[in-house]
Structure 1
Amino acid sequence: MRESATGAPGLVLHAPEGRPFRFDPGALCLELLPTGGHSGYPRYEVLHTPADLVRWAGGSRLRLGPDLSVSGGELARAHELRSSLWRLATARAHGTAPAAADFEVVNAVAAEPPLVPRIAAGAGKEWVSGATGSALLSTVARDAVELFAGPYARRIRECGSHDCQLLFADTSRPGSRRWCAMERCGNRHKVRAHRSRHQEGDG
């Protein structure tokens, strides 16, 4: 995964066939979920080492620099936080009750000191150097607090494609987003619908 070349929020993911596509899950905390490993997806795990978490932070909407310091314990904590976030987001998407234990994990991580922002020389935003993995995870967890306690909690959805489990918060004005990305699952749906119409016409 890496930051979109356009600078737009979101991640560049790769479909099973290898084709890249940009996926914007609508919130920082949901960007952690496609790193895999949770639930029944251990084969998709990409956070194997602390350096992997550093790379993820650089490719996320945080655009954190490579001077981030992550320990083995912080990597394990990232796995725990990710699992709780995945279960909470899945519960919201499917209309089921979230587990209190998962909220406790998020709250505990959010209670740690977060990343410290500052204004860069060019008036842009950057992060104070020397950040730790705990500060990174606290920032992610605090974003989760804002999401799950805010107005977009009711708009957390799973991609409408039958073979895609990517989760996102629909932050669009009309609230009608169905797909992880139009360039991937949205287009595949259009192709299938087009073929189905032609087959019905031939029949």
Structure 2
Amino acid sequence: MTDAVTTPDLPVPLVLADHPALDLLNTRMVVEGQRRDLLNSDADAARWLEQIGFGLATEVAVGDGQLLARLRKLRDCIESLLAARRENRVADPAALNAFLLRVVPQLVWEEAGAPVLDRLHQGDAGHQRLGRLAYAAAELLAEGDFSLVRKCESAECSLMFYDRTKSHKRRWCSMALCGNRHKVAEFRKRRQGVAD
């Protein structure tokens, strides 16, 4: 597979879910009424991993399509497991476990002083980042409070988030996006009601 050119009409993936696994799911979103994939090349995948704070994009090998393929595979398995968890049904974690098998703790001792336990040490930077993401997803699935894993309330939005607000009443993927649209729509309704 060759590295595809990024589609210019697609937005940059948003990082607003308060959890990297949910942000990964949000890389497939509704754009102009159609569900679109915002990751279309290894370069897109590397930039997204940098965007969520998983290291510099320049440290990841890109070009052969492998990074994108592995990230999409991880996203698909997280999406199916998350749906099962939200619906309180059993699912097969084998695909996620395959990513986790590469997550092997290593003792790293590079400088004078105490060694460091690197819990996500793997062969290359791409595998390290995907292992870290798989581990975050596994923690969410096993230990997350699923009453706080939500979909944006906007009917036109497909984005997910983990509600970490103090009151746990977050309704929108972002107040600047869907929340503001809702406020404007409600204002217009009230104004039309007054004018009638």
- Please say whether Structure 1 and Structure 2 have the same fold, judged by a TM-score greater than 0.5: yes
Aligned pairs for 1:33-182 within 5 A: 33-36=25-28, 44-70=36-62, 72-92=65-85, 95-98=86-89, 100-101=91-92, 103-113=93-103, 131-182=124-175
Alpha-carbon contact 2:20-2:133 (below 8 Å) kept:
yes
**Aligned-pair CA distance for 1:87:** 2.9
> 1:85 and 1:47 mapped to 2: Cα distance?
16
| 1:168 counterpart SS class | strand
Aligned to 1:32: 24
Name the CA shift for 1:17/1:49 in 2 (closer, same or farther; >3 Å).
Answer: closer
Larger radius of gyration: 2
> 1:76 and 1:177 mapped to 2: Cα distance?
33
Q: How big is each residue's C-alpha offset from its partner over 1:95-134, in whole Å with a ceiling of 9 and x where there is no partner?
A: 4245513x32222212213798x9xxxxxxxx99x84322
Name the CA shift for 1:111/1:171 in 2 (closer, same or farther; >3 Å).
Answer: farther
Comparing 41-50 with 136-145, which one deviates more in the overlay?
Answer: 41-50
Instruction: State the TM-score, normalizing by the size of structure 2.
Output: 0.72
Once the two structures are aligned, what percentage of the paired residues are identical? 32
How many residues align? The count is 174
Name the CA shift for 1:154/1:110 in 2 (closer, same or farther; >3 Å).
Answer: farther
* CA RMSD after TM alignment: 3.5
Instruction: State the TM-score, normalizing by the size of structure 1.
Output: 0.70
Q: Which runs of 4+ in 1 moved over 4 A?
A: 20-23
Comparing 53-62 with 82-91, which one deviates more in the overlay?
Answer: 82-91
**Aligned-pair CA distance for 1:89:** 3.4
Aligned to 1:123: none
Gaps of 5+ in 2: 1-8, 109-119
